[in-house]
Amino acid sequence: MSSLSERPPVAVVGVPMPHESAALHVTGHALYTDDLVQRTRDVLHAYPVQSPHTHARVTALRVKPAYDVPGVVRVLTAEDVPGVNDAGVKHDEPLFPSEVMFHGHAICWVLAETLEAARLGAAAVEVEYEPLESLVTVREAIAAGSFQGTGRHLERGDAEGALAAAAHVFEGEFEFAGQEHFYLETHAALAHVDEGGQIFVQSSTQHPSETQEIVAHVLGLASHAVTVQCLRMGGGFGGKEMQPHGFAAIAALGSTLTGRPVRLRLNRTQDVTMSGKRHGFHSGWKAGFDDEGHLVALDATLTADGGWSLDLSEPVLARAMCHIDNAYWIPNVRVDGQIAKTNKTSQTAFRGFGGPQGMLVVEDILGRCAPLLGYDAMELRHRNLYKPGDSTPYGQPVRHADRLEACWSQVSAGGDVVRRKAEIERFNATHPHKKRALAMTPVKFGISFNLTAFNQAGALVHVYKDGSVLINHGGTEMGQGLHTKMLQVAATTLGVPLARVRLAPTRTDKVPNTSATAASSGADLNGAAIKNACEQIRERLEQVASGRLGISPHDVRISDGVIRGLSDGEDLRWEDVVNAAYHQRVQLWAAGFYRTEGLHWDANAMRGEPFKYFAYGVAAAELEVDGFSGAYTLRQVDIVHDVGDSLSPLIDLGQIEGGFVQGTGWLTLEDLRWDESNGPNRGRLATQAASTYKLPSFSEMPEVFNVRLLEKAHEDGAVYGSKAVGEPPLMLAFSVREALRQAAAAFGPAGTSVELASPATPEAVYWALDRARSSVLTASGV
């Protein structure tokens, strides 16, 4: 195992370098799926007919008027599907539905010579509906008993008994919103039937293998008849793990029926109204503390708002339940989880995958209870942190729990937290209309897919006769820098300069049966597979070189393109040894494979060790809230985050900063508003454009933003000692939400406990501070 994590003395991994496509990005030369359209002849454009109802039966569908629109070539409907009319893996997502399940649901698709003609054709299609009762909110679904999938139960110790015996018991409810991915590149696919009769689909997908499978089953073909390629994505964040499949299938179906390339690219409104988002949750909870502020028991019910179909809601719920402890030791835990079925988009993976939702519940509890317990929230959190030897509620030892304390103390010291807290108190005492606060929150996040089978990866590495190297792996590039890291891994393992290695686009005919690039696992899994392939080739070359050098293969070293023995002697050039190997008929390419060892998980009992390791981090956020409006400015953020021994420090820094800001957006700004009224637009998403759904812009960036990687953080058992980084930093943004809570509380008397809506928009913060301001403290604790 340790050979996987051990680094050679000279390594390309660990060197800070920009994204491998940076020069292409900045010059506009990096190609995305839809950029290929103008390089393709005779492309047809696809446009959906979207339902104006939230729940309805389709009683009539007349497509003929569309054919009267000049330029319309074909209307795709359920009758056209030769295989299975389904876009998901759970077989609950008809590609062409006869029952509309959410506002904006696509009924059928129009193909035309121009996008304009397709749009007009879609407008001409006549659909008759019989409207049905709809459930829009998670509360409505709970009241109606509308659930889907399998509910789960997680238990350790005796929560009921511990709550009965606890010195302080609090209970509450907390409902919080989901999040739109808002990757800048909307869903896109471009399909054609190639010269060999194979369906070739370019897709903006995090999961090419599954896109391939869905396209194949819709077309009634075997998987080997379909190839899916993803050049790169303009952002994914989980939104392109399951959701691209149906769009790719529409393009592929249209292409097989017309014999022409078909392009499907959603505009922003279509993307936002049709594709799934982060799950909003409802939670009911009861928490018990002892007199020293230790959490002794937690009893919670989590209800994920799954939307209209199951999608990934079950594993999202499982991850939420497995992260309700966040970084805190809670001896007695009972968590029930269930998935509501509502008439909304089918909620799906989003960076953190349920983890953030589970963790938000416990952070909300601590933030609300701290003043009632008479504790500073920072102190309350600190004293509940996991310690070495602790284990999670599902029974996994919390290995490296000491890193939590290390991150905590480094943030505290590096951010000069004690001095700044005192300064904030002075500021608040003299500023009636502005209040500042500083909050520190930890992150512990489990790395691996909860579904054990997904924890495998493949790679294909070619060394050509001239010594150049081409690598291919099953992971996709969505901006997270995976390809950059993979190039570094290959160069390190082979012992060649980075410039020798080139990476080819992700395609299902190169590496089959891949897992989604998700769960932060891309570098761990694919890196290990690439390393495995490179090691096979390197060992063969060491054999060849040992003959030329007259030494044992064990004593051959390859570094920076030079091959030599352990002791002084002749230097061989990489390309000469490669060439010699070719002439000796030595195989110069290899398929690599990796499976994560040591995982086991009983999904029914919710027990086991589902995670290879935990990623840790701590953030301190200081902000200032305006008492007149609830608006805030983020003054300073200090982060120490554990990425193991970084494969690529500049990339990892970018993931931490970007994840933090995206998390801050989820918690404080991004506001999904469905029409919950009984009016004609019930169920319609009101925030379906960039003008109404606001992402963080540069004004939400912290004014001072200090991010450091935890040092001496080698992760034994992961590729070159590194750790996953994609998702964990998102949850560092809890510090912002908790600081907002504390700043709102500062408008009231000491000991004020603040309930804060999520997202904590300026309006939500205003109401929170207004309540604090006008409250006279009545009770402290129960």
Partner 1 sequence: MTTTTQALRAPSIKVNGADTAIGDVPVHTTVLDWLRDRGLTGAKEGCAEGECGACSVLVARPGTDAPTDWTAVNACLLPIGSLDGQEVITSEGLGSPEALHPVQEELAVRGGSQCGYCTPGFVCSMAAEFYRSTRTTSNGHCDHEHGPNGFDLHSLSGNLCRCTGYRPIRDAAYALGDPSADDALATRRYAPPPAPATTRMTKGEAEFVRPPGLADVLQLMADRPDARIVAGSTDLGVEVNLRGLRPPLVVAIDRLAELREFEFGRDEVRIGAALTLSEIERMLAGRVPLLAQMFPQFASRLIRNGATIGGNLGTGSPIGDTPPALLALDASLVLASHRGERVEPLADYFTGYRQTLKADDELIKTVVLPLPLAPLSAFHKIAKRRFDDISSVAVGYAVDVVDGVVREARIGLGGVAATPLRARATEETLIGQPWTERTVREAAAVMAAEGTPMDDHRASSSYRSAMLGQSLLRFHAEEVPA
Q: Interface residues for partner 1 in 62-121 (CB under 8 A)? A: 116, 119
Residue 462 interacts with partner 1 (CB under 8 A): yes or no: no
Adjacency order of strands within the sheet including 99-100? 99-100, 56-62, 126-131
Closer CB to partner 1, 29 or 62, in the complex: 29
By CB under 8 A, the residues from 4 to 63 that bind partner 1 are 18-19, 21-32, 35, 38-39
Residue 584 interacts with partner 1 (CB under 8 A): yes or no: no
Report d(CA 122, CA 131) in Å as an integer: 21
Backbone angles phi, psi at 236, to 5 degrees: -135, -60
Residue 291 CB neighbour total at 10 angstroms: 9
Closer CB to partner 1, 165 or 650, in the complex: 650
Contact partners, residue 350, CB within 8 Å, separation at least 6: 178, 179, 181, 237, 238, 239, 277, 278, 279
Residue 597 interacts with partner 1 (CB under 8 A): yes or no: no
Residue 524 interacts with partner 1 (CB under 8 A): yes or no: no
Whether 33 contacts 190, CB under 8 Å: yes
Residue with tokens 């494969």: 647
Candidates 282-290, 406-414, 474-482, 572-580: pick the segment binding partner 1 (CB under 8 A): 474-482
Report d(CA 23, CA 609) in Å as an integer: 42
Residue 701 interacts with partner 1 (CB under 8 A): yes or no: yes
By CB under 8 A, the residues from 410 to 449 that bind partner 1 are 433
Among 547, 705, 717, 755, binds partner 1 (CB under 8 A): 705
Among 77, 146, 198, 269, binds partner 1 (CB under 8 A): 269
Candidates 467-475, 491-499, 519-527, 757-765: pick the segment binding partner 1 (CB under 8 A): 757-765
CB of 479 to partner 1, least distance (A): 3
Report d(CA 74, CA 142) in Å as an integer: 42
Closer CB to partner 1, 170 or 632, in the complex: 632
Closer CB to partner 1, 163 or 177, in the complex: 177
Q: Which two tokens stand for residue 10?
A: 């000279």
Interface mask (CB under 8 A) for partner 1, residues 181-200, using x and -?
xxxxxx--------------
- The helix, strand and coil proportions of the chain, stated in percent and rounded to the nearest 5, come to 35, 25, 40
Report d(CA 448, CA 456) in Å as an integer: 10
CA angle centred on 572, ends 570 and 573, rounded to 5° = 150
Contact partners, residue 497, CB within 8 Å, separation at least 6: 12, 491, 560, 561
End-to-end C-alpha distance for the chain, whole angstroms: 51
For 135-158, the three-class secondary structure string (H helix, E strand, C coil) is CCCHHHHHHHCCECCCCEEEEECC
Residue 175 interacts with partner 1 (CB under 8 A): yes or no: no
Closer CB to partner 1, 572 or 647, in the complex: 647
Residue 498 interacts with partner 1 (CB under 8 A): yes or no: no
Candidates 227-235, 279-287, 500-508, 570-578: pick the segment binding partner 1 (CB under 8 A): 227-235
Among 41, 698, 712, 774, binds partner 1 (CB under 8 A): 698
Residue 205 interacts with partner 1 (CB under 8 A): yes or no: no
Closer CB to partner 1, 456 or 761, in the complex: 761
Candidates 53-61, 446-454, 701-709, 745-753: pick the segment binding partner 1 (CB under 8 A): 701-709
Closer CB to partner 1, 156 or 434, in the complex: 434
Report d(CA 202, CA 33) in Å as an integer: 6
Report d(CA 696, CA 390) in Å as an integer: 37
Q: Which two tokens stand for residue 234?
A: 């303009």
Residue with tokens 């402890």: 325
CB of 47 to partner 1, least distance (A): 11
Residue 170 interacts with partner 1 (CB under 8 A): yes or no: no
Find residue 106's DSSP bridge partners: 50
**Is 624 labeled as catalytic in the residue annotation?**
no
Is residue 57 helix, strand or coil?
A: strand
Among 301, 468, 543, 633, binds partner 1 (CB under 8 A): 633
Whether 486 contacts 526, CB under 8 Å: yes
Residue 629 interacts with partner 1 (CB under 8 A): yes or no: yes
Residue 67 CB neighbour total at 10 angstroms: 15
Active-site position among 609, 624, 727, 738: 727
Report d(CA 285, CA 170) in Å as an integer: 8
CB of 749 to partner 1, least distance (A): 21
Whether 232 contacts 32, CB under 8 Å: yes
Residue 355 interacts with partner 1 (CB under 8 A): yes or no: no
Closer CB to partner 1, 233 or 380, in the complex: 233
Residue 475 interacts with partner 1 (CB under 8 A): yes or no: no
By CB under 8 A, the residues from 649 to 678 that bind partner 1 are 650-651, 653-654, 657-662, 669, 671, 673
Closer CB to partner 1, 509 or 770, in the complex: 770
Total of chain residues touching partner 1, rule CB under 8 A: 81
Strand 152-156 versus strand 168-176 pairing type? unpaired
CB of 292 to partner 1, least distance (A): 37
Residue 686 interacts with partner 1 (CB under 8 A): yes or no: yes
CB of 770 to partner 1, least distance (A): 8
Among 40, 98, 692, 780, binds partner 1 (CB under 8 A): 692
Closer CB to partner 1, 433 or 585, in the complex: 433
DSSP sequence for 266-311: --HHHHHHHS--BPPEEEEEEEEE-TTS-EEEEEEEEEEE--SS-T
Residue 624 interacts with partner 1 (CB under 8 A): yes or no: no
Residue 782 interacts with partner 1 (CB under 8 A): yes or no: no
Residue 234 interacts with partner 1 (CB under 8 A): yes or no: yes
Residues that are catalytic: 727
